[in-house]
Structure 1
Amino acid sequence: MDEYPDLNYEEDNNMPEKLPGVIIDNFIAINRNLSMKAKYFILAEEIGHYLTTNGDILNLKDIRHMKAEVVARRWGFHKVLSFDHLLECYDRSILTCDELCSHFELEPEHVNQVLKSYIDKYGPSVEHKGHLIQFDPLNIKKI
């Protein structure tokens, strides 16, 4: 959060179970009932909304709102587990999903969501800083 001094956040006991987080202006509320790892993941998505979304997008039946949701979610995914993070894992011989989850304090389902979003955006692999990153299964090679 130090990167975003204009934002404030707090954990909320009264949020509906199906609502993990919400941002209003520069205030983020995170559902207190989530695991710490899930809170971190949701916080990144809400910061993504702050940086990429204008106005109220709660009506997800509107295609523009759905697209804004995807953009914010993808921003959060890539903030939490960037290509540079994946190369850091390669350099440290962190090779399995379990090791990656432990290193970045993420749930396996969140890592899988991030990798799927990379596949959706880039296809099965991407070249980054002299490495080939394959997403499914996750594999990194120096090229």
Structure 2
Amino acid sequence: MLYDNLIREAEQHGIDIYEKPLMKRIKGLYADGIVWINRRIPTTKEKACILAEELGHYHTSAGDILDQSDIRNRKQEKAAREWAYERLVPLEKIIEAHHARVSSRHDFAEFLGVTEPFLQAAIERYREKYGRHTIVGQYVICFDPLGVAEMFG
């Protein structure tokens, strides 16, 4: 299970994880080697997506970035999300899903173990980063619409 794997990964980095009831609008927080996940989140799939972003903060952020009116904090937030997208929806997994004949976004999210909104955000970030497509090995990954084509040469 993805959530359990992320918990083990966090523990390997010395990060403690606690599920506590938090305010409804707060899904997760990271500070000083501790991640809090809102216990009220109903699925482990959503908890995995949130935990990945909080681990992204461990790997990419410094200091208190709660004030999102500061552009430096927004940049750190974006970096943590990108870390999570690349961790849970790596380009290679898009190719694996293609080989597994996954055909719908719902099935693709299931294949990866992420929520559909997280998958959509990852694809949008990749499109922002790479444009309409990118090349990975002998594959072209198109982001709009999402698809994979094998190059022959």
Instruction: Quote the residue 2:28 is aligned against.
Output: 21
Structure 1 segment 1-143 matched on structure 2, within 5 A: 1=6, 2-4=8-10, 5=12, 6-13=14-21, 15-34=22-41, 35-143=43-151
Q: Which amino acid counterpart does residue 26 of structure 2 have in structure 1?
A: L
**Partners of 2:37 and 2:144 in 1: how far apart?**
31
Instruction: Quote the residue 2:3 is aligned against.
Output: none
TM-score, scaled relative to structure 2 = 0.88
CA deviation after TM superposition for structure 1 residue 137, in Å: 1.5
Q: Which stretch has the larger CA shift, 44-53 or 3-12?
A: 3-12
- In structure 2, the gaps of 5 or more residues are 1-5
**Partners of 2:9 and 2:137 in 1: how far apart?**
24
> Which structure: greater helix fraction?
2
Q: Which amino acid counterpart does residue 39 of structure 2 have in structure 1?
A: R
Report how many aligned residue pairs link the two structures.
142
CA deviation after TM superposition for structure 1 residue 94, in Å: 1.5
Q: Which amino acid counterpart does residue 53 of structure 1 have in structure 2?
A: S
CA deviation after TM superposition for structure 1 residue 83, in Å: 0.3
Runs of 4 or more above 3 Å deviation:
none
Deviations 1:30-75 (A, max 9, x none): 1111122111001000000000011111111111001110011111
TM-score, scaled relative to structure 1 = 0.94
Q: Which stretch has the larger CA shift, 38-47 or 100-109?
A: 100-109
SS in 1 for 2:119: helix
**Partners of 1:29 and 1:3 in 2: how far apart?**
15
- In structure 1, the gaps of 5 or more residues are none
**Partners of 2:104 and 2:146 in 1: how far apart?**
8
Same amino acid, percent of matched pairs = 28
Q: Which amino acid counterpart does residue 37 of structure 2 have in structure 1?
A: I
SS in 1 for 2:35: strand
Q: Which amino acid counterpart does residue 87 of structure 2 have in structure 1?
A: K
CA deviation after TM superposition for structure 1 residue 3, in Å: 2.9
